[in-house]
């Protein structure tokens, strides 16, 4: 992530709540696979999460899932509703007896009332996410720490007129109409990632499309998504993205590993940009450039930030931090 002051953002802790690197403990439970289903609406979004959890080591600790600001609606273990879960502080605690389970939760969140701009929030009529460092817990209950890596499959459903574009991490799988003027899209990211790299965007956006052919001959579909009025201001950013992909291959031999790479620019993004896997989200100032008003510095800044976030695909996403200390 790049914030607008070029500094790195970390969770804040006061002296009384200071956390030491030496306090680190491995996670008690791992989550190899995560299935998310979103019924999207600015006022009330329902999120159904199915976590494939495995016990990490020989212990009898319950599953503890971080959460903040959501209303729990249901908890199921291996397809059966359970009532022995509890809330401790901001954690959902579920006793589990076996070594592996499918844990499903349903929650409701209100993106339009999310003034923190962390998790899923409304921006200019669109819905988008910001999850670094601990924003994913505001979307659904999850072990929201960078050493729990999971493969994500995501289904988005929303009103087709209000949110005609549905984007998430990874590659698109399928899409189609749904009853009552709604539509849906499925996305899949086959590479394990920490929850802070999760992203989705739903809204009325235009796209400047391009392609990049990798060193092995694969064609990657590129997209810069913005408001329709801003589409002519995205050409420099698209060119910078292609240059960045070519440079990473030429210098480090790092070929992009998905079939799609998307960038979305929004005005209300609270950092400069974020390197979510395959779906970077930017503050508009680091994407849009008009030759009549932009300076050389503006063009250089856009190229630098586009490159910075793209390079995270390997040095920062594939090789990532163990903890936030």
Residues with Cβ < 8 Å from 300, sequence gap 6 or more?
none
Geometric angle at alpha carbon 39, from 32 and 283, rounded to 5°: 80
Task: Please identify which of the residues 104, 157, 186, 309 carries the catalytic annotation.
Answer: 309
Question: Taken in order 160, 164, 170, 173, is the CA torsion positive or negative?
Answer: positive
Strand 80-81 versus strand 71-77 pairing type: antiparallel
Geometric angle at alpha carbon 220, from 216 and 222, rounded to 5°: 150
Q: In this structure, what DSSP letter does residue 98 have?
A: S
Cβ proximity of 4 and 305 under 8 Å: no
Nearest to 95 by CA among 129, 61, 118: 61
Residues with Cβ < 8 Å from 85, sequence gap 6 or more?
75, 92, 93, 94, 95
Nearest to 263 by CA among 217, 316, 220: 220
Separation between Cα atoms, residue 50 and residue 102, nearest integer Å? 6
Separation between Cα atoms, residue 224 and residue 233, nearest integer Å? 10
Backbone φ and ψ of 12, nearest 5°: -90, 140
Q: Can 309 be counted among the known catalytic residues?
A: yes
Query: CB count, 10 Å around CB of 136?
Result: 28
Residue located via tokens 């899209």: 185
Is omega for the bond preceding 133 within 30 degrees of 0, making it cis? yes
Give the SS3 label for residue 249: helix
Residues annotated as catalytic are 309
């Amino acid at each position: 992530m790049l914030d607008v002051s070029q500094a790195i953002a970390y969770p804040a802790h006061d002296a009384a709540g200071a956390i030491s690197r030496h306090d680190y403990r491995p996670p008690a439970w791992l989550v190899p696979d995560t299935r998310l289903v979103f019924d999207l609406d600015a006022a009330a979004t329902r999120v159904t999460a199915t976590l494939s959890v495995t016990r990490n080591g020989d212990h009898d600790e319950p599953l503890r899932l971080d959460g903040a600001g959501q209303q729990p609606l249901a908890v199921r273990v291996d397809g059966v509703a359970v009532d022995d879960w509890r809330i401790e502080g901001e954690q959902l605690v579920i006793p589990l007896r076996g070594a592996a389970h499918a844990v499903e939760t349903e929650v409701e969140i209100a993106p339009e009332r999310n003034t923190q701009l962390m998790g899923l929030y409304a921006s200019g009529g669109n819905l988008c996410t910001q999850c670094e460092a601990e924003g994913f817990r505001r979307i659904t209950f999850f072990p929201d720490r960078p050493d729990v890596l999971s493969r994500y499959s995501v289904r988005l459903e929303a009103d087709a007129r209000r949110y005609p574009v549905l984007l998430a991490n990874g590659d698109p799988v399928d899409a189609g109409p749904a009853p009552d003027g709604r539509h849906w899209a499925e996305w899949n990211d086959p590479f394990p990632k920490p929850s802070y790299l999760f992203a989705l965007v739903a809204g009325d956006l235009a796209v400047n499309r391009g392609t990049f052919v990798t060193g092995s001959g694969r064609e990657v579909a590129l997209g810069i998504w913005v408001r329709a009025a801003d589409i002519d201001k995205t050409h420099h950013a698209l060119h910078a993205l292609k240059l960045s992909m070519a440079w990473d291959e030429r210098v480090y031999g790092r070929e992009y590993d998905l079939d799609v790479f998307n960038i979305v620019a929004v005005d209300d993004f609270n950092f400069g940009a974020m390197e979510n896997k395959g779906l970077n989200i930017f503050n508009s100032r680091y994407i849009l450039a008009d030759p009549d008003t932009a300076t050389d510095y503006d063009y250089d800044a856009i190229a630098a930030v586009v490159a910075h976030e793209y390079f995270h695909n390997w040095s920062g996403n594939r090789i990532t931090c163990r903890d936030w200390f």
